[in-house]
Amino acid sequence: MDIATHKGTITNKQLLLAVACFIFGSTLQSSFSIGVTKQDTWIVVITGFIVGAIVALICLTLSSKFPGKTIIEINEIVYGKVIGKVVSSLYIFVIFSSVYLNTRDVGNFIVRDTMPQTPLAAILIIFIFVCAFAVNKGIVAIVRLGFLFFLLYIIALIISIILLLNNMNFSYFSPSFTLPIMNYVQGTHIIGLIPFGEVYIFMMIYPSVDKNCKVKKSVLSGMLIAAIAMLIIAIRDWSVLGSTATIFKLPTYQTVSVIEVGETLSRAEALFSISFVVLLFFKISVMYYALMIAFAQIFNIKSYKPLTYIVGIISICLSILIYDSVSENAYFAPNIAPTYVTFFAVVLPILALLIAKARGIGRKRGCT
Amino acid sequence: MKNSIGKMLKICLSLLLCLALSGCWNSRELDSLAIVMGYAIDKSDEEGLVDMTAQVAVLSDGGSSDNSSSSSNTASSEAYWNITRTGSSIFTILRDYTHESSRKLYSPHNQVIIFGNDLAKNGIRDYLDFFLRDHETRLNVWILVAKDKASDILDVKPKLEKIPAIGLSDLIEDQKATSETVQIRIRDFLERLISDTTASIAPLVEVIGEGKDQIVEMSGTAVFKQDKLVGELNKTETRGLLWVLSKVNSGIITVEAPGGTADLEIVSTETQVNVEILDDGSITAHVKITESGNIGSQTGSGDLSKTDNVKILEQNMNDAITAEVFSAVEKAKELDADIFGFGDMFYKKYPQQWKSMKENWDELFNEIKVEVEVDAKLRGSGRIVKPAYPAEEE
């Protein structure tokens, strides 16, 4: 299998589910904005989706100008060999940091909420090696899991809603639209760019899709499904926890811990945390795969496989070293990370589009 | 051949992974745990310190079911063990227990947290923090306030259960039948604690009787201003509060009936509260209660199946419920504590005006005019239609 081109291996339906699962993987992190937007979090989920869809459209337009090319290859075509490699290495940097930041989130979640005495490294090593194994099997294998994970996630969501119906109080949502306008802007920025904007990483994967023309539709419908699920989760969490949601680190996790049916069914959050971790595995595997393809293309290597485990070990080290404390993590995620993503998912693609237009390269319009 | 050996090896390896499912560093076996059923927190005699009592369930060795039948271990071995230590904070005391207990305390099955009266008067926020923060504690534990010392409550052996804390948590569940006690989980307490104006509430418990006849009784509601205990509601006032909160589940109201009295059982209720700022700047809260009930029992000879008599009963019921609500409102104004959450309702309905109202809410709350509208309906009269009197000639 030729890694560099990798054409015609994923169907559009698989891409749709992969995009949805990729965003589901951020559910735990969607709480970033709850402290900022409080009872109006559901509003910024909607506006965030719109912003995210625009971001995805920009990336998709760029990709469709150069069918069959990843962003790394596009960079080389647009900027020329030398500057192209420089820009590409910036992309490697940001995808790499996405991989190890998300890995750290998994580690934090498991250590904090279920196994407090287990060293972070023990969990990260096991986790990254499973991801590396999946990445070596290729994107087709990863994406095939999408359907399974999608079902798992939707079923867990529906069950949690049914079991929580009793605890929901919709009066928590009023008054709406009363926060300072900047809170909505920041909330939209966070939601729009962290779960939705990260879809720009799929620019590494579009070339593997079977019918390249329908990519736009698949990606957007995948994002729409994920947005609906996130909206439901935002409403569920706030209607159960109310203003207390603002003091919890992971409101989504606290919400499912509220579930109590009679005396028999309680303490079920461990079951739900499985779905969080599994979805994060999917998200990280996709990012990890994108990273490996980027490495292979920038260094002109035939196969990325020998590098996978090395990159995995480096990301374990980085994810342990990256934060000294929880508060650094809590500050970085909502305040700095969205700005990073803005640069790579909005500014650079637009720049590339403009240069391509000025130089008159790339396909003019649509698919054939 | 070589291939199939490789396959077998892979299968064995993946089966071995199951061993890791219990976790490695944090695996804890049942026989190494001291399962805590309840905590009681009191102010210590020494300034600035607290006494915390943990009630640990003592698990019998030979299984739980045959414990009662074997007469050999009766009085000597209790089903629980209370440990009390003194310290500056909950977490330090919790670790301090290891000096006495051979097993580390395990909190996820904790049922109740009881605060002593003296401690509650000085504020309990600092002591709740640990229970909210720790990963082992649960958010559905019951919060109680003792009328006197909290540790006394955990010393009273219940008549029906083996462990006081479990007896207490069952007791709280039972309170639905009368709706004369609030049921507050740590989650509910937290919600009121982080509200700007709404006062926290918690059920009160006290020990009644002497020596062997001691029992624990639920006796009304403790009212907090922020996190400091400021007063209490009696049982009638508590139900008045619950009417407004729409939390009345059941209960008995005795009213006058033609020819005697009637005990009416509350079957279902619904309350809608509508707050308003009138043109002249005064504020009102309109409480609309819809209730339906049954005749549970009656005294005297009145025929309560007649429409006229039912009307009278319903009217009396309306008056009784209104009186309960007003008793709660008066007490709340006396304590200066917004236990009903009217402040939050104004914030929800008038977010703009609320900004200025928030500053002097204490005064505004005293001026709020509460209107009560009750629509009580009698739905049933039980198995008989008339009391057991000889038939009258008409």
**Residue B15 has what pLDDT?**
86
Chain B partners of A166 at a C-beta cutoff of 8 Å? none
Check pLDDT > 80 for residue A123. Answer: yes
Cross-chain CB nearest to B24 (options A118, A174, A244)? A118
- Write down how long chain A is: 368
What would the two tokens of residue B281 be? Answer: 């700047």
Q: What is the pLDDT of residue B291?
A: 93
Contacts of A120 in chain B (CB under 8 A): none
CB atoms within 10 A of CB B12: 9
B48 near A CB under 8 A = no
Q: Which residues of B touch A326 (CB under 8 A)?
A: none
Map out the domains of chain B as residue ranges.
Answer: 29-59+78-233, 234-387
Q: Which token pair is A251?
A: 């409101």
Q: Is the ipTM of this complex over 0.85?
A: no
pLDDT tens for chain B, 394 residues: list them: 668 888 999 889 888 877 766 666 666 778 888 999 999 999 999 888 999 999 999 876 544 444 444 444 444 468 899 999 999 999 999 999 989 888 888 888 899 999 999 999 999 999 999 999 888 888 889 999 999 999 999 999 888 888 999 999 999 988 888 889 999 999 999 999 999 899 999 999 999 988 888 899 998 999 999 899 999 999 999 999 999 999 999 999 999 888 889 999 999 999 999 999 998 888 999 999 999 999 989 888 888 888 888 899 999 999 999 999 999 999 999 999 999 999 999 999 999 889 888 888 989 999 999 999 999 998 888 888 888 888 776 5
Q: How far is CA A281 from the centre of its chain?
A: 11
HSE of A228 in the Cβ direction (CA atoms, 13 Å)? 8
Question: Model confidence at A24, in pLDDT bands (50, 70, 90)?
Answer: very high
* A118 lies within 8 A of chain B by CB: yes
Q: What is the DSSP letter of B383?
A: T
Cα torsion at B184, B188, B194, B196 (round to 10°)? -80
Write out chain B residues lying below 8 Å of A122, CB-based.
Answer: 24-25
Give yes or no for a contact between A14 and A307, defined as CB atoms under 8 angstroms apart.
no
CA distances to A89, A112, A323, A333, A335 from A327, in Å: 29, 14, 9, 10, 12
Please tell me the predicted confidence (pLDDT) of residue A5: 44
**B40 phi/psi in degrees, rounded to 5:** -125, 130
The single residue listed with the structure tokens 């306030």 is B145
pLDDT band, very low/low/confident/very high, at A4 (cuts 50, 70, 90): very low
**What is the number of other CB atoms lying within 10 angstroms of the CB of residue B206?**
17
- The span from the CA of B349 to the CA of A141, in Å, is 53
Spatial contact of B162 and B67, defined as CB atoms under 8 Å apart: no
**Which chain B positions have a beta carbon within 8 Å of A174's beta carbon?**
348-349
Nearest Cβ partner for B191 among A113, A122, A244:
A244
**Cβ–Cβ under 8 Å, residues A59 and A200:** yes
Q: Is A365 on the interface with B (CB under 8 A)?
A: no
Interface residue B385 vs chain A (CB under 8 A): no
- Residue A155 tokens, joined: 């079923």
Report domain extents, chain A. Answer: 12-359
Contact of B195 with chain A, judged by CB distance below 8 Å, is answered with: yes
CB within 8 Å: B26 and A260: no
The rounded distance, in Å, linking the Cα atoms of B330 and B338 is 11
- The pLDDT value recorded for residue A209 is 87
Structure tokens at B176: 């639905």
Flag whether residue A119 sits within 8 Å of chain B, measured between CB atoms: yes
B304: Cβ contacts below 8 Å, ≥ 6 apart: B257, B258, B262, B295, B298, B310, B313, B381, B386, B387
CA distance A274 to A268: 11
Alpha-carbon distance B225 to B231, whole Å? 9
Q: How many CB atoms lie within 10 A of CB A326?
A: 11
| Nearest Cα residue to A282 out of A44, A17, A49, A41 | A17
Q: Using omega within 30 degrees of 0 as the cis cutoff, is the peptide bond preceding B203 cis?
A: no
Q: Does A171 touch chain B (CB under 8 A)?
A: yes
In whole angstroms, give the CA distance from residue B350 to residue B344.
10
Q: Measured between CB atoms, does A270 come within 8 Å of chain B?
A: no
Q: Which of these ranges, A277-291, A351-365, B359-373, has the smallest mean pLDDT?
A: A351-365
Task: Please give the residue that has the higher pLDDT: either A113 or B214.
Answer: B214
pLDDT score at A124: 92
Q: Taking CB atoms and an 8 Å cutoff, what residues of chain A touch B187? A: 244, 258
Instruction: Give me the pLDDT at residue B77, please.
Output: 66
- DSSP string across B278-347: -TTS-EEEEEEEEEEEEEEEE-SS--TTSHHHHHHHHHHHHHHHHHHHHHHHHHHHHHT-BTT-HHHHHH
- The CA distance from B213 to B294, in Å, is 35
- A-B CB pairs within 8 A amount to 51
Strand B104-106 vs strand B33-43: parallel, antiparallel, or unpaired?
A: parallel
Residue A284 pLDDT exceeds 50: yes
Which residues of chain B from 316 to 355 reach within 8 Å of chain A, CB to CB? Answer: 347-349, 351-352
Question: How far, in whole angstroms, is CA B92 from its chain's centroid?
Answer: 27
CA separation for the pair A183, A341 (Å, rounded): 19
In a mutagenesis test of the B interface, which of A244, A253, A254 is the best target, namely the one with the most B β-carbons within 10 Å?
Answer: A244
**What is residue A209's DSSP assignment?**
B
**B43: closest CA among B131, B183, B145?**
B145
DSSP string, B115-164: E-HHHHHH--HHHHHHHHH-SSS-TT-EEEEESS-HHHHHHSPPSS-SSH
Predicted local confidence at residue A260, as pLDDT = 82
Helix or strand or coil: residue A7?
Answer: coil
Q: Return the DSSP state at B46.
A: S
Please tell me the distance from the alpha carbon of residue B331 to that of residue B327, in angstroms, as a whole number. 6
B190 min Cα distance to partner chain A (Å): 7
Average predicted confidence (pLDDT) for chain A: 88
What tokens appear for B330 in the block?
């008066």
Q: CA dist A159 to A228, A272, A299, Å? A: 16, 10, 47
- The β-bridge partners of B288 are B272, B373
- CB count within 10 Å of CB B358 equals 14
CA distance A354 to A345: 15
Q: Give the gap in angstroms from C-alpha B334 to the nearest C-alpha of chain A.
A: 28
Q: What is the pLDDT of residue A339?
A: 85
Q: How far apart are CA B272 and CA B289, in angstroms?
A: 7
Would you tell me which CATH number, out of the four given (3.40.190.120, 3.30.300.210, 3.90.1720.10, 1.10.3720.10), belongs to the domain B234-387? 3.30.300.210
To 5 degrees, how large is the angle CA B353–CA B357–CA B360? Answer: 170
What CA–CA distance (Å, rounded) separates B98 from B384?
A: 62
Q: How many helices (H) and strands (E) does chain B have?
A: 12, 13
CB contact under 8 A, A115 and B351: no
- Taking CA atoms, A37 is separated from A232, A242, A251, A283, B172, in Å, by 16, 12, 14, 25, 36
The runs of H, that is alpha helices, within B195-266 are 235-245
**E strand or H helix at B42:** strand B33-43
Nearest chain A residue to B189, by CA = A244
Question: Which among A243, A254, A326 is the top mutation candidate for probing chain B, defined by the most B β-carbons within 10 Å of its own β-carbon?
Answer: A243
CATH code of the region A12-359: 1.20.1740.10
Best to test chain A binding among B139, B185, B274 (most A CBs inside 10 Å): B139
Q: Are A107 and A123 in contact (CB under 8 A)?
A: yes
Chain B CB within 8 Å of residue A274 CB? no
When pLDDT is averaged across residues A301-322 and rounded to a whole number, the result is 91
- Region for A40 from its dihedrals, namely left if φ exceeds 0, alpha if ψ lies in -120 to 50, beta otherwise: alpha
Output DSSP code: residue B70. Answer: -
| CB-based contact B379:B310 (threshold 8 Å) | no
Order of strands across the sheet with B251-257?
A: B251-257, B260-277, B283-298, B369-380
Q: Which residue's structure tokens are 């607290």?
A: B50
Cα separation of B291 and B319, whole Å?
Answer: 12
Residue A200's φ and ψ, nearest 5 degrees, are -55, -25
Alpha-carbon Rg for chain B, nearest whole angstrom, is 27
